[in-house]
Chains A and B, each alone.
Chain A
Amino acid sequence: MTAAKTLTPPVAHTLAETYDPSGRQAGELMLSPSMQQFAEEAAKLPTEEVIVNMGPSHPAMHGTVRIVLRIDGELIKDADVQIGYLHRGFEKECESSTYSQIFPYVDRLNYVSPMLNNVGFAMAVEKLLGITDQIPERAEYIRVIAGELARVADHLTCIFASLSELGGLTTFFYGNMAREHIWDLLEDLSGARLTHSYARIGGVAWDLTDGFAEKTRAKLVKVRHYIADIRKLVERNRIFLDRMEGVGFISAADAISYGITGPTLRGCGVDYDIRKDQPYSVYDHFDFDVPIADGCDNLARYLVRIEELEQSMKIIEQALVQIPPGPVIIDDPIVALPAKREVYNSIEGMIAHFKLIMDGIQVPPGEAYSYTEGGNGELGFYVVSDGTGRPYKCRCRPPCFYTTSALRQMIVGANIADVVPIFGSINMIGGECDR
């Protein structure tokens, strides 16, 4: 395992021990003497606590969440984070769909990185079928390439969306342009820009398109340019640093006890990445680092994400070189659909196709949990089979749910204006959190 790379934030960070949750740190606000006097007098004035609703319909409450704030002036005394506005009954829906029919549903969990969800779900079912080690290597490589492209899109979205909410609209356009290149690649691969449904149980739907490697390399160069531009724009920007640094604090111990994973946990200085610590698929074939930052705040989460973009692109480039030729789906007629030539011209192929579509893949009774590194942390699928073609129970462990549970702790004591960057930095995705 490669040594984890620790990033130091460009400005001295706030230490956990000295953090005063009741307000900003001393010395942080540089007020003029007259303003200082005004503030002191204002502090003596009697104030009244007010209840303010943020969301569910609020431009910065992406994913439709509602936060009921109890505020005293600008200061947040208490917050009630209410999720569930995007609840679609994903888990219940799964119980009446064949395993293959569930892929379109998982696309809509974390809808900024559907490829990662596809792979995570496929792995759970493959575990139940006991075919995890029979997946063709080429399919595993394609899954890694598609998954890492999705991760780049996911992190970019998180970064440019929260930067635009801080007023940096230029970064929004740069980030969007970069993501557009990623989406072009994913569209090239799967035919869809957002809801790919590209993975299959036992592999992936079809092989890489012609010239995919060259296209990807060319696109990644452009993406790197955009990322560099974004970094140049914000990382030495006073407004950005003031809004990000020391805001949205959560200690490493708290983050662990909340069950937080992914960039938010790595932003607390905890070196944990499932790709590295519990390598699945072919992740152990690549040389990449797990960036961590120990600021425990918005800035640390930003730094982790921006560095992970580079690491993901590194993985993609290695995978494009290493990818072996061969089939892209398991050669097992009771799992993978037969070729169309067989379906239309032989009764054997017809029956196999027919039964796999109508009755679904017959998964032996049992239960399995797959855990993969999703865009926001550990994305888990717990599947129970009763031996039929559909899951008896399918539970998704969405990484956002755990991060969102800690949101209250992060915003209490901050100012109203901090809610938006804090919420943006944890990248809560409603489709995944509410399922």
Chain B
Amino acid sequence: MANHDSRSTTSTIPPSPGTVPPPSTAPAPRMGVDPRPRPPEGWTPPHAPNHPAVPNEGEETVSLTIDGENVTVAKGTNVLEAAELMGEDICHFCYHQGLSIAASCRQCLVEIEKMGKLQPSCQVEVRDGMVVHTKSAAVVKARREMLEFTLKNHPIDCPICDKAGECKLQRHYMDHDHQLTRVDVPKIRKAKHKDIGREIVLDQERCILCSRCIRFCDEVPKTSELTMTYRGDHECLDIAEGHRLDNAYSVNTVDICPVGALTAKDFRFAIRAWELKATPTTCPGCATGCAVELHTKHEQAYRLVPRFDAKVNGHWMCDEGRYAYKELDPATRVHHAEVDGVPTRLPDAIAVLAERLSEAKNIAVVFSASATNEANDALRQLTEVLASLKGRVKAGGNEPTRYVLGHPRGEGDDILRDPDKNPNTHGANDAAGDVDKHEAELALELAGQAYDAVVFLDDSGELSEVALQGLRGITSVCLASSRTALADACSVLLPAASWAEILGTTTNRQGLLRVIQPAWRPENDRKHRADLLRDLMIAMGLRNVATAKERSRLLAEHHHHAELSALVASPKPARPTLLRWAHSRG
């Protein structure tokens, strides 16, 4: 997964050959899973330079008047944040909570008593006794005039623009401007669809020169590829001479771009933004576990975008993680159970499997660092059940051997990316009991026919061809959501729901519980892995086995996780919101 080369280029501009990321200087990737990934020494989540308005406990506060209402906010915050806390939407383009302040768009001008001119509210720090007017005639006039100015050279691109529907310029026009044009001179032409990086296409005409993307490149990945060139009417955003926008976080510039000047090659012309439904979930791309939104339509995923989480990822996520949705490809989904290559009803498949496992002497159970805590916990329970199953023990069955499998290691850095490309290494190791047995050991044993049954919790492990050959003759079962080489090699397939279909949790490298929420209901026979294993244990004669939801509830109680508790307690599943009505973006 997360493979840049595997993306479908719906864009008209193919990634140019000269823009492949430079080869990694990190040591050669080792198969296997880091037993316990940790953030780098001294790591903190990306810093948001602007102080939020909500005061933390014990923090110093100031009181000011905004539109005749008294409001008490944290000291050090700015007027724009304070007004937003009151529900006053001061329209702005260049201000972003996670970036330094430029005050270049002049859109957030407000009137502050005892200050001669209108002030940019993003730049003015709150003071005690300040009296602010955000709706006075002068402010409204300034706002409309600035918008008219911004729109003067904006191309008539909405019908072909990827940002349309989540565009700040569109929204502010409808909320604050709504006057028709007075301009009768031609618009200034600049470069359209300029290929500026591995992931990004730039349209200079659409750019409103807010400089958010420039500040992002300067401040977060600290690579400074972007700059302004020329002046006045002809000023435009461009890549610096000899550079390309190829940093590992470049697609964030697309998210923060208030208009459609920067567009992602992967999402260009794929779908209109307002047709998408947003599900708050967690990125499964690496051990960091960034808070993300999964954008979907009709059981198909289209993109991942970051969601603010101060404790983990701030406002950002990496480019690599954005491709995690590719593994939800509907073409490779496993819909029904299969026994020895024959599609079977799920209860029948489980009955057959229960019988075969009860008869097996040597069993290997393979925990997965990319499966949820709930699934790993259910497999731990199954291991214990198999170890103590009366018939099996009598016939000389051994205690199952535990392995942990996951994706191979990749690149990491000090910002967000972790070299461990599994979302739940902690959870898998907790369930497996910190065994140090991974791909290499399992491959050797399988090639040597050491087991007559093996249970894979996930389809993501990468085993050698010889090891896969070894799976053919034995009872090998894979709880697969998509058809991988491993899933195809196994004799029994159980259709498992992917991370876009379940409520579950992973444990990230900081030890924090990260919540995964369903974007759509599992199709056909697909089920939560923990529920499939529950069915299996019930088929073996066990009673009172916890469902996936009950396991989640226990985890929520143990971690005092309010969000998860609420999700588990709610009788109705949380439903994704359609971006068309949500106005959460743009």
Contact = CB atoms under 8 A, between A and B. Distances in A.
Contacts of A358: 164-165, 274, 580
A362 B173 contact: no
A349 interface: yes
Interface string A342-368: 101111111110110011001000000
B28 interface: no
Contact of A355 (B155, B159, B170): B170
B158 interface: yes
B580 A359 contact: yes
A346 B173 CA distance: 13
B20 interface: no
Contacts of B177: 348
A389 B581 CA distance: 7
Contacts of A56: none
Contact of A338 (B169, B171, B180, B583): B180
Contacts of B472: none
Given A345-B156, A358-B274, A389-B581, A351 B170 contact: yes
A131 to B, nearest CB: 14
A6 interface: no
Given A351-B173, A352-B173, A362-B174, A388 B180 contact: no
Nearest to A356: B174
Interface residues of B, number: 23
Nearest to A342: B180
Contact of A349 (B155, B181, B274): B181
B158 A350 contact: yes
Contact of B180 (A334, A346, A389): A346
B113 to A, nearest CB: 29
Contact of B178 (A347, A352, A388): A352
Nearest to A334: B178
Contacts of A390: 581
B151 A354 contact: no
A59 interface: no
Contacts of A342: 180-181
Contact of A388 (B155, B170, B181, B581): B581
B96 to A, nearest CB: 22
A289 to B, nearest CB: 45
Given A333-B178, A354-B164, A388-B583, A348 B274 contact: no
Nearest to B178: A333
Given A333-B180, A358-B580, A388-B583, A347 B164 contact: no
Contacts of A362: 174
Interface in B135-189: 151, 154-156, 158-159, 164-165, 169-171, 173-174, 177-181, 183
Interface string A220-241: 0000000000000000000000
Given A348-B151, A352-B174, A359 B274 contact: yes
B179 A333 contact: yes
Most B CB within 10 A of own CB, among A349, A352, A355: A355
Most B CB within 10 A of own CB, among A342, A347, A358: A347
A134 to B, nearest CB: 15
Contacts of A334: 174, 178
Contact of B179 (A348, A355, A388): A348
B93 to A, nearest CB: 15
B112 to A, nearest CB: 28
A352 B171 CA distance: 10
A333 to B, nearest CB: 4
A388 B165 CA distance: 14
A354 B180 contact: no
B173 A348 contact: yes
Contacts of A347: 151, 154-156, 158, 181
A17 to B, nearest CB: 56
Nearest to B187: A347
B170 A354 contact: yes
A334 B175 CA distance: 8
Interface in B527-573: none
B182 to A, nearest CB: 9
B454 to A, nearest CB: 47
A332 B180 CA distance: 11
Interface string A116-142: 000000000000000000000000000
B174 A355 contact: yes
A338 B183 CA distance: 16
Most A CB within 10 A of own CB, among B154, B178, B274: B178
Interface string A328-343: 0000111000100010
A355 B181 CA distance: 16
Given A358-B165, A362-B174, A344 B158 contact: no
Most A CB within 10 A of own CB, among B173, B183, B583: B173
B274 A351 contact: no
Contacts of B179: 333, 348
A355 B586 CA distance: 12
Interface string B207-242: 000000000000000000000000000000000000
A350 B173 CA distance: 11
A355 B167 CA distance: 10
A275 to B, nearest CB: 35
Contacts of B181: 342, 346-349
Contacts of B154: 347
Contacts of B174: 334, 351-352, 355, 359, 362
Nearest to A335: B178
A345 B183 CA distance: 10
Contacts of A344: 156
Given A342-B181, A346-B180, A358-B165, 18 more contacts: A334-B178, A338-B180, A342-B180, A345-B156, A347-B151, A347-B154, A349-B181, A351-B170, A352-B178, A354-B158, A355-B170, A358-B274, A358-B580, A359-B174, A359-B580, A362-B174, A388-B583, A390-B581
Interface of B: 151, 154-156, 158-159, 164-165, 169-171, 173-174, 177-181, 183, 274, 580-581, 583
* Shortest Cβ-Cβ A-B pairs, 7 listed: A346-B181, A333-B178, A354-B158, A388-B581, A351-B173, A347-B154, A348-B181
6 contacts: A334-B174, A346-B183, A347-B154, A349-B181, A352-B173, A359-B165
